[in-house]
Structure 1
């Protein structure tokens, strides 16, 4: 069998193991090392495996991952997410579907200091769902709003998915962050429009909240948003201004979030320990995935499969946009079954060279891929965010949540169409640096 044939066979084997529900990181490590041994030698495979594991867990550039993850957990245990929701809720609560709109707004703000889709969905589940249930919101609309709002956590910088994409491809994480800002805001507005239209057509889905005085609105905004603005400016503002690198931005983010929480006496010793414990667990999982994907990527490079696929795609008698549509469709199908982070790590070594060879901007391609991967976290049968919400709200069946997802899915597809037709929507801000 040729080297390319071995590469194709390895991908089939990986998907067989994935459908058997085996851990993704271990699958990529075992298959990658086994394939490398077949093509080269067992000593070479062992050398690649050990050196990759060591370099991944000692990499300076990868320390940005645990730092941003810890930043998110500090914000969670300090109650920042609840205050952000309270602020947006008091401003929008009286509007039709105001609580749902507040959930989207709060998710956007929390995404600016979080970077994780599941963490955003889990946080908003504990904060906003009880309020929506108290005002007798439709279960499907309420839970689908929370699950979908998690997608904003990976579009608004800092985003763990953008970081992983940047590390995997060598693209500038700063430019990826900037490219996600405008599409992230547009997605927030589209989600709000979807909710408002549903409530306008059927007011019983989302009853109005209580009336709040203007004084209470202003005081809640000051109390709930100032700390988020401070942290966001400290991290993203400093990063965009070139004051520090992406890795240093992670350190600044974690420190500034902890400093704000301590000064305002919002976190106790127990919360501090829990934030560290949770951050370590999630970071170890992510780094194992990165190491596994790196080993598998090195094996694929030896087979020559990515180069062969890029050449094949370029030679197809189809326009570049049609080839891109095929790639996005593959991502969409795979997203039904594979976790977002694992999907990025598994497929980027294959499809990134194809996109570059076809002439697409790699930063723009990163935004497109993150959006498509975001669709996967809310679509059946995997739909990680849906199961997160269902795990917290045990009274609502999973299928009830999935039924409410489709309007939000339509909003994401609409934004994808805009970005494909007008790439400058994503590339305008990165073009300024």
Structure 2
């Protein structure tokens, strides 16, 4: 059996494990071990597993993950999300669909101190959805809007997905963070426009809220917004200017959130313990996925699938943009069955050499595209982790209702992705300007 066929067999084994409801991390690990075993020998397979996992877990850059994860969970348990939502609501709550629009603004602002889509969806969802239901918003729109808004948590820096991509693809995490800012803002504004149009066409979907005075809007600035600004300036500002490494930026950010919340007495002892427990659990899950993906990626490399795929792409008569569109379509389909993090880790060994090496696209741009497309998986059935998080917030709303409201937001994400495909400078402008 040829190496390529063994690689394809490994991929099939991976999907068989998924169908059998094996966790993604174990599916990648088992498929990688079995594939390398067939390709070489049991001793080689076990030696590669031990070597690859140890060498990657001992990488200093990976220590940035628990720091940024803790920063997000500290902010969640300190109630910063509630303050951010209050500011956004006072700014746009009086417009058609204002509460749902405010949830997008709050998700974007909270995303600036949280690198997690789940933390963002859980935080803003627990605040915004009950408020929207109180104002008689349509359940499908209110829940879907917050689930989709959670994506902003991994597009607007800091982002654990950018960190993972940067490590796997050996790209600057600082440049990736910069590259996500403009696409994140565009996506946030696009969500707001969609909500406004839907509410304008059918006012019963999302009634207007009360109009706040300018004094009330100004006073709301003293809430969580100044905390977000200070924390973002400390951690991201230091990273962008080269003062901090990604790990140091995460530590400064987490330390800043902890210090501010202790000074303002917004974080209880129970909240601190909960943030540490959630950080430990999330970090362990991410590290297990990374270790498994490294083993599976080694199988893909040894099987020479990327090289054969690159040669096949070169032989196509399609222009690069069409080939890239087909790759994005594959990502969209895979996103229906896999979590964003797992999808990125799985696909980098396969598609990165083709997109960057064969098609000649910018690796930073591809990182943003990858995160954006993979993040669709957190709102699409049957995986849709953000949808299930919102379901946990409002238990009397059926999952089917939430998924029904997701499709307009998914269409907006696709439009933004195509816009970035047509104008790559949207992602590369800030990294090239600042030169980080």
Does the CA-based 8 Å contact 1:234-1:252 persist in structure 2? yes
Q: CA deviation at 1:61?
A: 1.0
Q: CA deviation at 1:76?
A: 0.6
Q: After TM superposition, list the pairs within 5 Å mapping 1:191-202 onto structure 2.
A: 191-202=191-202
How far apart, in 2, do the equivalents of 1:318 and 1:207 lie?
48
Q: CA deviation at 1:26?
A: 1.1
Does the CA-based 8 Å contact 1:85-1:103 persist in structure 2? yes
Does the CA-based 8 Å contact 2:9-2:35 persist in structure 1? no
Does the CA-based 8 Å contact 2:125-2:393 persist in structure 1? yes
How far apart, in 1, do the equivalents of 2:336 and 2:346 lie?
14
Q: After TM superposition, list the pairs within 5 Å mapping 1:26-425 onto structure 2.
A: 26-356=26-356, 357-425=358-426
How far apart, in 2, do the equivalents of 1:417 and 1:46 lie?
42
Q: After alignment, is 43-52 or 183-192 more displaced?
A: 43-52
How far apart, in 2, do the equivalents of 1:337 and 1:380 lie?
8
- Residues 40-64 of structure 1, C-alpha deviation per residue, up to 9 Å, x if partnerless? 2222221221223333333311011
Does the CA-based 8 Å contact 1:77-1:275 persist in structure 2? yes
Superposition RMSD on alpha carbons, in Å? 1.1
With normalisation by structure 1, the TM-score equals 0.98
Count of residue pairs brought into register by the alignment: 433
How far apart, in 2, do the equivalents of 1:313 and 1:248 lie?
40
Q: CA deviation at 1:312?
A: 1.4
| Ranges in structure 1 where 5+ consecutive residues have no aligned partner | none
| Ranges in structure 2 where 5+ consecutive residues have no aligned partner | none
How far apart, in 2, do the equivalents of 1:188 and 1:370 lie?
15
Partner secondary structure for residue 203 of structure 1: coil
- Residues 42-94 of structure 1, C-alpha deviation per residue, up to 9 Å, x if partnerless? 22221221223333333311011111111110001111111111111122221
Q: CA deviation at 1:24?
A: 1.0
How far apart, in 2, do the equivalents of 1:55 and 1:363 lie?
24
Q: After alignment, is 116-125 or 106-115 more displaced?
A: 116-125
With normalisation by structure 2, the TM-score equals 0.97
Q: CA deviation at 1:353?
A: 0.4
How far apart, in 2, do the equivalents of 1:27 and 1:412 lie?
29
Does the CA-based 8 Å contact 1:56-1:287 persist in structure 2? no
Partner secondary structure for residue 428 of structure 1: helix
How far apart, in 2, do the equivalents of 1:55 and 1:273 lie?
31
How far apart, in 1, do the equivalents of 2:249 and 2:351 lie?
29
Partner secondary structure for residue 429 of structure 1: helix
